[in-house]
């Protein structure tokens, strides 16, 4: 019985199941811990009360190429979104290869996140795009926030994004102007 609940919750949360989710579904926290202990090939403990259901294509219907992004968003909460170079990496633009997946969220967390992700708190409202269930910072803002990607790569990536119709001409021109000003310094 808990198996069906866990599959449903993991599908809804991009493979992430927390003890709070299990308790809200009417099961005890120990039921999740016991399931994880009995099925180590299916469930991985990520942190205190946070579990990842493995094999995301089968369990969650998520393409494996997107699973890391979805796990990061699942850990950071429902209003979290990817930012900066991580967004450029998602779109395969600007030769972006961020050291960490960067995520912004309006929530404050006490939990420790995995060392492969960086979570920052924000109070500002940003336009967020959702593609295949992945919440992404608007591409215009992502090009400007991707400070760990060289400006000349971002300009090249901007041309690529414009040719792929990922960003409109006016927005591309605004970003191009701001990036060229930065490059001129």
Whose tokens are 């967004």? That residue is: 87
Question: Residue 51's pLDDT is what?
Answer: 85
pLDDT in tens, 22-80: 999 999 989 988 998 998 888 888 777 888 887 645 544 555 567 788 888 878 887 99
pLDDT computed for residue 63 by the predictor? 56
Q: Predicted confidence band at 185 (pLDDT cuts at 50, 70, 90)?
A: low
What confidence category does residue 111 fall into, taking pLDDT thresholds of 50, 70 and 90? Answer: confident
| DSSP assignment of 25-50 | TT--HHHHHHHHHH-TTTEEEEETTE
Look-up of token digits 């269930």: 133
Q: What is the mean pLDDT of residues 135-142?
A: 95
Looking at residue 56, its pLDDT comes to: 47
Place of tokens 């998602």: 90
Q: What is the pLDDT of residue 162?
A: 96
Task: Please give the pLDDT value at position 160.
Answer: 96
CB 59 within 8 A of CB 51: no
The per-residue pLDDT for 165 is: 96
The model carries a pTM of 0.76
Residue keyed to tokens 């009417």: 26
pLDDT tens digits, one per residue of 112-134: 888 899 999 998 889 999 987 78
Answer yes or no: is pLDDT of 106 > 60: yes
pLDDT of residue 55: 61
State mean pLDDT over 69-93.
90
The residues, ordered by sequence, that sit 6+ positions from 24 with a Cβ below 8 Å of its Cβ are none
Q: How confident is the model at residue 11 (pLDDT cuts 50, 70, 90)?
A: confident
Q: Which CATH class is domain 2-59?
A: mainly alpha
Q: For all residues of the chain together, what is the average pLDDT?
A: 87
Q: Classify residue 154 as exposed, middle or buried by CB count within 10 Å of its CB (0-12, 13-18, 19+).
A: buried
Determine contact, residues 80/136, Cβ cutoff 8 Å: no
**Domain map (residue ranges) of the chain:** 2-59, 64-184
């Amino acid at each position: 019985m808990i198996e069906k609940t866990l599959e449903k919750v993991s599908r809804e949360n991009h493979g992430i199941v927390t003890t709070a989710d299990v308790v809200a579904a009417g099961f005890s926290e120990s039921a999740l811990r016991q399931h994880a202990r009995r099925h180590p090939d299916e469930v991985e403990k990520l942190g205190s009360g946070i579990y990842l259901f493995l094999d995301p294509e089968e369990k969650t219907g998520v393409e494996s190429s997107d699973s890391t992004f979805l796990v990061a968003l699942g850990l950071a909460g429902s209003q979290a979104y990817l930012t900066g170079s991580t967004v450029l990496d998602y779109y395969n633009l600007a030769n972006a290869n961020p050291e960490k997946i960067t995520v912004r969220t309006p929530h404050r967390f006490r939990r420790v996140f995995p060392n492969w992700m960086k979570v920052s708190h924000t109070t500002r409202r940003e336009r967020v795009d959702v593609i295949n269930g992945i919440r992404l910072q608007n591409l215009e803002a992502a090009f400007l926030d991707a400070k760990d990607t060289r400006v000349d790569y971002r300009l090249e990536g901007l041309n690529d994004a414009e040719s792929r119709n990922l960003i409109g001409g006016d927005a591309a021109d605004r970003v191009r102007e701001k990036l060229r000003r930065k490059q001129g310094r």
